[in-house]
Amino acid sequence: MGDLAGNPTSGNGNKLSNLPQLHRYITGHNAEGKAIVHEHNDFEWRPYDEDQLAFSVAYTTSEFPADLNGDADVAQHKRLAAPDSNLGLVNPRGTVLRCVDFAPGYACGMHRTQSLDYGIVLEGDIDMVLDSGEVHPLKRGDVAIQRATQHQWVNKSKTNWARMMFVLQDCKPLTVAGQEMKEDLGTNSGLPPSGN
């Protein structure tokens, strides 16, 4: 999805973000074993929370270590990335590479994934809010390493979209102070449970 300038759009064609369109290059091998670009395309965006949030799943894996033989990983990713897929935030026993655009002034719901996540700010400034009350302002290039913690992302700008890239990796169940830290999607995710 995209407008004529390649910007992320909602399903009805309304522009979601004025940030640049991103492109994905999946590599592979030719018959001689030389590296090639197996597939190249624009990120596909899905709107959430009344077009205040846009997600694009660039890639997934479904096992660790990933099986690249016969392009098994590519086929599995295509099944998970299909519009009718039930992919949650985390892919059980695997990974998810997801880009997220946040509208000006948008705050997602407080949530927790049962996963180890690397979140990199690509555009804008965004606050990482933790359930302890800690607030940490992040700027372009900053990295948040979320270890199954309850958190929220807040785009403090009233005029500019913010963008983050996330690598979510399934993790073993985590117990803190005798309590299992399970997935909590909050109230406005619009996503199915991950099932891990």
187 pLDDT above the threshold of 80: no
Percent of the chain exceeding pLDDT 90 equals 83
For range 12-36, the mean pLDDT: 87
The pLDDT value given to residue 8: 61
15 pLDDT above the threshold of 70: no
CATH assignment of 23-172?
2.60.120.10
Q: HEC states along 16-70?
A: CCCCCCCEEEEEEECCCCCEEEEEEEECCCEEECCCCEEEEEEEEECCCCCCCHH
Q: Is the peptide bond preceding residue 65 cis, with omega within 30 degrees of 0?
A: yes
Of residues 163 and 195, the one with the higher pLDDT is 163
For range 85-110, the mean pLDDT: 96
Q: Provide the pLDDT confidence category of residue 7 given band limits of 50, 70 and 90.
A: low
| CA-only gyration radius of the chain, Å | 17
For range 80-100, the mean pLDDT: 94
Q: Domains of the chain: which residue ranges?
A: 23-172
